[in-house]
Amino acid sequence: MADATQRRDGLERQISPVALLFTGITGIVGSGWLFASLYAAQIAGPAAILSWCIGGGVAITLALVYAELGGMLPVAGAIARIPYFSHGGMCGFMAGWLCWIAYVATAPIEVTAVLQYASNYLPWLTTTEAGERALTPHGLAVAAALLLVFLLVNLAGVRWLARANTIITGWKLVIPVVASVALIIAGFDGANFTDHGGFAPMGATGVFSAVSAGGVMFSLFGFRTAIDMAGEAKNPQTSVPLAIIGAVLASLAIYLLLQVAFIGAVPPAHLARGWGALSENVPGGPFAAFATLLGMQWLAAALYFDAVLSPSGTALAYTGATARINYALAQNEQFPRHFLQLNAARVPVWALVFNFALGFLLLLPFPGWAELVGFISSAAVLSLAFGPISLAALRHQLPAHERPFRLKAGIALSALSLVLVGSVVYWTGWDTNWKVFALALGGAVLLSALHLRRGDFDRLDARQCGWFFIVGGLAVISYLGGYGNGLNVLHHGIDLMLVATLSLAVFWLALETRLSDEEAGALAAKSAADDPA
């Protein structure tokens, strides 16, 4: 009898439930904990706490949706594969395309965060251009070396990846909690929550903007790494749901504690010009700067060490997860079949190498951390829109399929999830959203051209993906709205009503245009036949 961990497609189930949970946590607790508290407070003031509560609500709702899907269909690169099962080729591609765009940029941005913190004691790593930090030629060389290390660990096999990630994540859980408690004990000033413009100096606009542009969603959507690695998890039917939900809850608690500690620890002198100018007073490393000001050199040293380790752990996880998206899209016959090739350690070798090369190129024109998180958040959250659609569709298409975790009121929560996704994308603002939707449209054109060249346009399943292009109406609402240099002609309340109405209309249309039960069943059966484990 064949080894139960050996899969017919070559991937192996070697990731333990604890390692999968830590994969989800390390995807969330990365550079976000070093910078998100600063930038969220800069945008929303003390009300950034509300931004984390809103972002946490969105993440938990989506995590519940993906917990059912991940347990039901635990396949490699599930973000791209599951919409393929429910709505066909174009939906699978669009979900994977947007996810891959966000993922492939994440490892470079984590490396940028490492070097931005390290430049406080190694100033030759970065330089300041037009008020923003950028990598020097020496910094680029160090960044390339770090990306190469992440590549080599992943090439060594998923078992080595899981072991390295488990060790790193254990440290990453301890240091943010210790830092938060130490800052609260040594330098907490409750007046910061009410002085300097009040609790919400930027109003509701600041609170909602911080969810996307302040790094809240950029941090929290990292739970998806557990889904992407589900194809290599042991006992995935139970370990995947537990990893997804557990990672979100544990990480959200840490981020809320960090935000409270950060707001209370800001020296009043740094708030003389208000919360919006805060980053000018704490460039590079806010928590380490506060620890130094409070005389806690031991904490500053630990933070500077963790500023290398935490983002590196996240970059390591995303290096592996990104390759699984390439792999999934190649299985869908939408990326080159070279990405299906595995090395002796049974990992997709050419997908890893390609993403490494592209990640290095992305380092060259990268702006700072704060400027990029909005784009990554919008693209990644938009790709998550396919999950709620697929859950509702698969409830109709595969009603008898085993669901180890079955979400109560799943259809209603899926509809709510889509409304929340639309809201987060809208809050990102016009400046970012037009670029995201332009990339989405470009991906659709590329896929259509590929099918035309092959002469199998009917396999595109364009009708089943028509609902996604109606989501493009969010771009119009963004243009008319008050976020990210929109025209600001939509009043608060009216804009969210439009987003909710559009999202619910899209949800209904997507459910009506799903694949037939027979087609979805055949695709799921083929996936199961390829994965006897």
348 - beta bridge partners? Answer: 342
| Amino acid (1-letter code) at residue 420 | L
Domain ranges of the chain: 17-524
Contact 164, 21 (CB under 8 A): no
Structure tokens at 371: 């400027």
pLDDT at 8: 41
pLDDT at 256: 95
Q: How confident is the model at residue 147 (pLDDT cuts 50, 70, 90)?
A: very high
DSSP symbols for 25-50: HHHHSSHHHHHHHHHHHHHHGGGHHH
DSSP symbols for 56-125: HHHHHHHHHHHHHHHHHS--TTHHHHHHHHHH-HHHHHHHHHHHHHHHHHHHHHHHHHHHHHHTTT-GGG
pLDDT at 423: 93
pLDDT at 9: 47
Task: Measure Cα distances from 375 to 18, 101, 181, 206, 498 in Å.
Answer: 31, 10, 32, 17, 22
Q: How confident is the model at residue 11 (pLDDT cuts 50, 70, 90)?
A: low
Q: What is the mean pLDDT of residues 106-132?
A: 80
Each residue of 442-499: pLDDT tens digit?
Answer: 888 988 888 888 777 777 888 899 898 888 888 899 999 988 888 999 888 899 999 9
Each residue of 209-241: pLDDT tens digit?
Answer: 999 888 898 888 878 777 776 666 777 777 778
252, pLDDT greater than 90: yes
Q: How confident is the model at residue 412 (pLDDT cuts 50, 70, 90)?
A: very high
Q: What is d(CA 387, CA 140) in angstroms, rounded to the nearest whole number?
A: 37
Q: What percent of the chain has pLDDT over 70?
A: 89
pLDDT at 531: 53
Give the gyration radius of the chain's Cα atoms.
Answer: 22
Q: Tell me, which fold does domain 17-524 have in CATH? A: Amino acid/polyamine transporter I (1.20.1740)
Q: How confident is the model at residue 502 (pLDDT cuts 50, 70, 90)?
A: very high
25, pLDDT greater than 80: yes
Q: How confident is the model at residue 413 (pLDDT cuts 50, 70, 90)?
A: very high
pLDDT at 7: 42
Q: How confident is the model at residue 361 (pLDDT cuts 50, 70, 90)?
A: confident
pLDDT at 4: 39
Q: What is d(CA 192, CA 161) in angstroms, rounded to the nearest whole number?
A: 42
Contact 471, 506 (CB under 8 A): yes
User: What is the Cα 302 distance to its own chain's centre?
Assistant: 26
Each residue of 53-97: pLDDT tens digit?
Answer: 999 999 999 988 988 898 888 887 788 889 999 999 899 999 999
pLDDT at 1: 34
